[in-house]
Amino acid sequence: MDIPDIQRSFKPLQDLLLKKSEANILLAAIELDLFTLLEKTHSAEDIAQKCQFHLQNTIHILNALVAFDVIQKDGDRYFNSPIADCVH
């Protein structure tokens, strides 16, 4: 069975889906008031315990926010980046 050679790029569709996901993560962080909490440095464990969040989900959202450059990470501690002032 020959695999067809696809000439069309699906990157524009992938980019749209990723932007929607990024927007949803940012909106969730705003609704959860993470940026107020991250005015001071906290570990993911501190945040999960303080807010009664699931630890792994907390780590995932925090690392996504780091990847978006909205917050920063130093070791296991998270804190707002300068741009975070614009979202809370």
Four-point Cα dihedral 68, 84, 44, 74, nearest 10: 80
Instruction: State the pLDDT at residue 6.
Output: 72
Q: Give the residues across from 72 on adjacent strands.
A: 79
Q: Is the pLDDT of residue 43 over 80?
A: yes
Span 17-86 CATH architecture: Orthogonal Bundle (1.10)
CB 35 within 8 A of CB 88: yes
User: Average pLDDT for residues 32-51, to the nearest whole number?
Assistant: 97
Higher pLDDT, 8 or 74: 74
pTM over 0.85: no
Contact 50, 34 (CB under 8 A): no
Domain borders along the chain are 17-86
Q: The sheet that has 42-43: what strands, in order across it? A: 42-43, 77-80, 71-74
Dist CA 30 CA 26 (whole Å): 6
Question: Hey, what's the torsion of the CAs at 66, 70, 72, 78, to 10 degrees?
Answer: -80
Task: Please report the pLDDT score of residue 88 as a whole number.
Answer: 65
